[in-house]
């Protein structure tokens, strides 16, 4: 056993520890509800996807930039592949268009940085 040095222990971390304990207790108290939400989360996401798709009409597609259309198609295709259990990597023409769009965005960002300097 060590001899007492007469110094008081550092308790500065105590409020953080107590706050963490309270947070853990609050999470534990909502555990059942949180688990129920997890079980319906994919249904909620599906409902949101449906609402988004319903909001897209021919006029919006016609006025959209190519990059926006490509990004939307890429996102939808990835979700489709995930649902079907397929790899989510996009290949072919869409992959090429996505790469072109990313390159274009990078060049525009570089131009803005260059103009600011």
Q: Which long-range contacts (CB under 8 A, 24 or more apart) does 54-62 make?
A: none
Identify the pLDDT of residue 3: 55
Query: pLDDT class for 7, splitting at 50, 70, 90?
Result: confident
**Residue 86 buriedness (CB in 10 A; 0-12 / 13-18 / 19+):** exposed
> In terms of domains, do 78 and 36 share one?
no
Q: Which domain holds residue 37?
A: 15-55
Residue 2 has pLDDT above 70, yes or no: no
What is the pTM for the complete model shown?
A: 0.38
> In terms of domains, do 46 and 27 share one?
yes
> In terms of domains, do 73 and 98 share one?
yes
pLDDT, tens digit, 9 for 90 and up, residues 52-76: 888 888 898 899 888 888 888 888 8
> In terms of domains, do 115 and 82 share one?
yes
DSSP 64: S
Mean of the per-residue pLDDT values of the chain: 83
Is 6 part of any domain?
no
Identify the pLDDT of residue 101: 82
Is 24 part of any domain?
yes
Query: pLDDT class for 4, splitting at 50, 70, 90?
Result: low
């Amino acid at each position: 056993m060590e001899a007492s040095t007469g110094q008081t222990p550092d308790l500065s971390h105590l409020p953080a520890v107590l706050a963490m304990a309270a947070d853990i207790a609050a999470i534990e108290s909502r555990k059942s509800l949180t688990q129920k939400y997890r079980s319906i989360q994919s249904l909620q996401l599906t409902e949101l996807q449906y609402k988004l798709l319903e909001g897209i009409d021919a006029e919006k597609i016609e006025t959209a930039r190519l990059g926006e259309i490509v990004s939307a198609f890429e996102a939808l295709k990835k979700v489709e592949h995930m649902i079907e259990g397929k790899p989510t990597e996009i290949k072919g023409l869409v992959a090429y268009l996505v790469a072109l769009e990313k390159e274009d965005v990078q060049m525009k960002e570089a131009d803005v940085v260059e103009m600011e300097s």
